[in-house]
Amino acid sequence: MTATMPNEHPKSDPVPNAEKDPENWATGDERMTGAQASYLKTLSEEAGDPEAYDPELTKAEASQRIDQLQAKTGRGQ
């Protein structure tokens, strides 16, 4: 009797719930990363919304703001 093996390449079949809402991130309340800050600044300029960039955002807040600006600019689609 042979046991059925799970997919041998887990990255080829990702778990659909692997993405967490930024509000539930364990490190979501830490300062945003340098990469987030840079991308957020670029997106805010492209969107014509310089007020969208706030250097004091947390990782979670920055992620949510990036999502909003991507939708506004059409980036990341």
Residue of 33, 22, 34 lying closest to 63 (CA atoms): 22
Residue 48 lies in a domain: yes
Number of structural domains found in the chain:
1
Identify the domain containing residue 47 by its residue range.
27-77
The per-residue pLDDT for range 14-27, each reduced to its tens digit, is 555 456 666 666 66
**Which structure tokens are listed for 3?**
């046991």
Residue 2 lies in a domain: no
CB 63 within 8 A of CB 69: no
Residue 76 lies in a domain: yes
The per-residue pLDDT for range 25-66, each reduced to its tens digit, is 666 678 999 999 999 999 999 999 999 999 999 999 999 999
Residue 40 lies in a domain: yes
Model-level pTM greater than 0.75?
no
Residue 10 lies in a domain: no
Judged by DSSP in three states, 65 sits in helix
What are the beta bridge partners of residue 54? none
Judged by DSSP in three states, 58 sits in strand
Residue 63 lies in a domain: yes
